Amino acid sequence: MWQFSPARRSLIGFFLMGMLLAFLGAILPAWGYHLRSEYTETGSFFLAMVAGVLASLKGAYYLLERKGLRIALSVAAGLACAALLYLAAVPASASPYWRLAGLFLLGASIGPTSASVLHAITPLYSRDPAATLNLGGAFFGLGSLATVLLVGGAFYVYTVPSILIILAVIPGLFAGIFARTNFDLIPFPRSVPLRQAVQDFKSPEAILLSLLLFIQFGNEWSIAGWMPIFLIQRLGVSPAASLHLLAVYWLSLLVGRIAMQAILPRVRHGALLLVCGFSAVLGCGVLFHTNNMFGATAGILFLGIGYAAIYPLVAEMIGGRFPYYHPGFYNGLFSLATVGGLLAPWTLGIYADLWGIRAVMLVPFLGAITVFLLTVVIRIYARLTRLPAPGEVKA
């Protein structure tokens, strides 16, 4: 019973990851943070989740290596269910520290979920990194969309504890599914030696790619986490409308990744990366300058289309040039960049306190410009350092 193919197993896990990582952006208006200017406190919630992710990684690797995928995924999903139930029990008048504790637990469930799911797709990833991560990203977007639609649809219908209990049921169901699934045995990847990690700092290409990864992760999670509050305070839309616009963001990402799955084999990946980077710059620029719903919707669509293929294509470039890279195991220069990018929403709270709510869109706008420029530099560097084919004279 519950015998899934490797692709189906990974897709279920990506859906759960999307739900968990989209949670904070969707729930902040329900907690009333759109009515306050306590941006540093809001940013601390993102920091608590990242701290939970980092604190759980060692335990995640232990569970994966010693107990296998079934136990690791079951424990992770069960912990996510418990964290959401705990947050549902925290009174609205309670100190923010109680919510920080719950978000730390939620982050602690994301670490083993991420490591386990990305470990499960290793055979597929080794054959086609871009297509595998793009397909997984589509299901990640589907999970994120489900969270936002559920919270947005229930915003004026149910109380916040009721919404959290409904959300908790989903990882609880996943925990039961994972516990009854017999996963294939996949060899555990070796750690990147310290010498190799140090060597990466001497490679201009490794630094450029890791910097691109760092900024792109920061951009994506910053937009997803802060967009509802930005739209409410900047445009004056209702909390439910802001969540619907956040759903448009996740939907455009989802549709974009499905479309990219068909486009990837037919276009040059370097050119596609440039187009996506320019679309992201355009989307951030429109959102930063807009003062109406039409501009916000247009900017969100440009953003979703732009972000759809950037991470899968960058991961493919890294995997092609640095074969030891594994997206699910946080060691080495590239994985430090991935984790570092997750800290960006926390820093936006500090910037918003200093410069106002527009800072939460200005920083991703500057980041999108930087990503676009980095893609240009990386393409130029790759051409300059490309080995000539037999019989070809290098200019």
Helix (H, G, I), strand (E, B) or coil at 75: helix
| Residue 393 belongs to some domain of the structure | no
Please report the pLDDT score of residue 12 as a whole number. Answer: 77
Q: What is the CATH number of the domain that holds 215?
A: 1.20.1250.20
Kindly give the residue spans of alpha helices, DSSP state H, lying in the chain: 6-27, 39-62, 69-89, 96-120, 122-127, 129-153, 160-179, 194-200, 204-235, 239-263, 269-289, 293-307, 310-321, 333-341, 344-355, 359-385
CA distance 134 to 143: 14
Q: What CA dihedral angle connects 78, 84, 86 and 87, to 10 degrees?
A: 160
- Buried b vs exposed e over 263-290: b needs ≥16 C-beta within 10 Å? ebeeeebeebbeebbbbbbbbbbbbbeb
Q: Tens place of pLDDT for every residue, the chain, 395 residues?
A: 344 554 456 567 889 988 998 999 999 998 988 888 889 999 999 999 989 988 888 888 888 878 888 888 899 999 999 999 999 999 988 888 999 999 999 999 988 888 888 777 777 767 776 677 777 778 888 999 999 999 988 877 888 899 999 999 999 999 988 888 776 666 665 555 545 555 555 677 777 777 888 888 888 888 999 999 999 998 889 998 999 999 999 998 888 878 877 777 777 777 788 888 888 899 999 998 888 889 999 999 998 888 887 777 776 666 556 555 555 554 445 556 667 677 889 999 999 999 988 889 888 899 889 888 888 888 787 777 754 444 444 43
Q: How many domains does the chain have?
A: 1
| Residue 364 belongs to some domain of the structure | yes
Cβ contacts of residue 395 below 8 Å, gap of 6+? Answer: none
| Residue 287 belongs to some domain of the structure | yes
| Residue 258 belongs to some domain of the structure | yes
| Residue 257 belongs to some domain of the structure | yes
| Residue 390 belongs to some domain of the structure | no
Q: What is the DSSP letter of 90?
A: S
| Residue 392 belongs to some domain of the structure | no
| Residue 395 belongs to some domain of the structure | no
Helix (H, G, I), strand (E, B) or coil at 94: coil
Burial bucket for residue 381 (CB in 10 Å: 0-12, 13-18, 19+): middle
Domain extent, residue 287, equals: 6-385
